[in-house]
Structure 1
Amino acid sequence: MSRVALVTGGNRGIGLAVARRLAADGMKVAVTYRSDPPSDLFAVQCDVRDPESVHHAVNEVEQTLGGIDVLVANSGITRDRAFAVMSEPDFAAVMDTNLMGAYRVTRAVVREMMRKREGRIVFVSSVAGLTGSVGQANYASSKAGMIGLARSLALELSPYGVTVNTVAPGWVDTDMTVRLPEKVKEGITSQVPLGRQGSAEEIAEVVGFLASEGSSYVTGAVLPVDGGLSLGA
């Protein structure tokens, strides 16, 4: 039988590319969204900041597609600002969505994976969690926290056959980056050793491997997919 995958924030950008890649690999894929669900995938509305919303979304996926075998925790937001003028609500909102959201969805699916003694969990973090990022203290903190959470879970869940890994995308062409001024984009690109932006599909390739049976001996890994941007970090 086809494995079931849940991708949070799977209605656009990296999440959508991941969901389509997993579907192409033969999985039954569900995505969560807050607005604008994709038309080509099974979609459930969910706000990862709300435990009840997460609970209902996971239940809907399980009742419709079956027990979840693969979780990709991808939902994330930014509220960029220099730290000296960053408000506590802006810091907390990013932590609540990015880090606590990953906690909530993982908590909702992990017991069933432990019971079945198999499962794949992939966190979509960021190179910012490895290197830090000016104006993104909240975002970088949340993404670094995801790495610590994933590595801790890898230790806890290994006896149950559940692997937990992290992908750390770098400078990727998404809805979040396309709005930046050209000069800013050129400046960031100049810092990438490979000399270009990555694509959401390139991130999805790596997530697809970590979600596959072929990654059965990989757990606790942090894989930068960043064109070399984090070299030396």
Structure 2
Amino acid sequence: MESAKSKDQSDGRVALITGGARGIGFEIVRRFLADGYQVAFMSTTAEHVERALDTLGRPEGRLYAEKGDVTRQDEVSGFINRVRARWGEIAILVNNAGISPKRADQNAPWLSQTSLEEWTRVVDVNLSGPFILTRFVAPAMIAEGYGRIINVGSLAGRAMPLIAGPHYAASKSGLVGLTRATARDLAPYGITVNCVAPGRVLSDLTGPAEAPVNKTALNRIPVGRFGTAEEVAYVVAFLASSGAGFITGATIDMTGGEFSA
């Protein structure tokens, strides 16, 4: 797949991706490296961070990662400050980190099966995390007169959730609202804020195509296949580009037609 941006177009800008060690986040990191960015990412598990760095070949001077929790302001602030000390201000923020607890059969937990503690954790990671990151990076973007913020949402935040639980659906619906509100606030300063909402994308987080829950999901997708993390990363890279400067407040549905079916 052809890159959405050339290395010259990236201008060596700094991109920060949360949840970048696995799944869609990892492919976004890989795409941004290919497009010439200096890339920093966070993940909650040190083992996953090290594995991702090894897989990417640890390109010297262009990749930096840490274990960190997007809900902890002290960890987020410290990470951002260390990235700034290395490369300067962050021009691209991709809020990708997210969690979606499932039942043992990998189907959605019902409302009656969702504890307040689990609800709070999911909303904190999926919605408060992007809010925290955006608040930390926006002032410097405003000062620079340029910025790109891309939130990774979900079909579950756009239509009746058939796999995700109530906490996940609510958090991803909220992320669409947060995208619109921050797009309104930041547009006068040359900063765009958009959301990408994937449907069923196979990764190590969703399990194999042969899993019963995935077989059922496939029957709902008009194009007749699952999405790929690489496809999501390609669209994120486009929204991060200078050429996407007239797109803001939008949610791009990547569902193989399922959302519009």
Per the normalisation by structure 2, the TM-score is: 0.86
1:170 aligns to what? Answer: 199
1:122 aligns with 2:122: no
Aligned-pair Cα RMSD in Å:
1.3
1:61 aligns to what? Answer: 83
What are the equivalent positions in structure 2 for 1:103-114 lying under 5 Å apart?
Answer: 103-114=131-142
Percentage of identical aligned residues: 40
Give the conservation status (yes or no) of the 8 Å contact 2:209–2:215: no
Runs of 4+ in 1 over 6 A off after TM superposition: none
1:96 aligns with 2:124: yes
For the residue of structure 1 that corresponds to 2:90, the secondary structure is coil
Match of 2:187 among 158, 162, 168: 158
For the residue of structure 2 that corresponds to 1:196, the secondary structure is coil
What are the equivalent positions in structure 2 for 1:1-233 lying under 5 Å apart?
Answer: 1-35=11-45, 36-37=48-49, 38-39=52-53, 40=56, 41-80=63-102, 81-134=109-162, 136-178=165-207, 182-231=211-260
Per-residue CA deviation, residues 119-168 of structure 1 (Å, 9 max, x unaligned), is 00000000100003145110010001111001011111011000000000
**Structure 1 unaligned regions, length at least 5:** none
Cα shift at 1:179: 5.8
Distance across 1 between alignment mates of 2:126 and 2:211: 27
Give the conservation status (yes or no) of the 8 Å contact 2:202–2:208: no
Cα–Cα, structure 1 residues 53 and 180, in superposed 2: closer, same or farther, change >3 Å? farther
**Structure 2 unaligned regions, length at least 5:** 1-10, 57-62, 103-108
Per the normalisation by structure 1, the TM-score is: 0.96
Cα shift at 1:51: 0.7
Cα shift at 1:229: 1.2
For the residue of structure 2 that corresponds to 1:122, the secondary structure is strand
Give the conservation status (yes or no) of the 8 Å contact 1:121–1:162: yes
Give the conservation status (yes or no) of the 8 Å contact 2:24–2:229: yes
Distance across 2 between alignment mates of 1:199 and 1:85: 30
Distance across 1 between alignment mates of 2:160 and 2:20: 25
For the residue of structure 2 that corresponds to 1:133, the secondary structure is coil
For the residue of structure 2 that corresponds to 1:178, the secondary structure is coil
Number of corresponding residues? 232
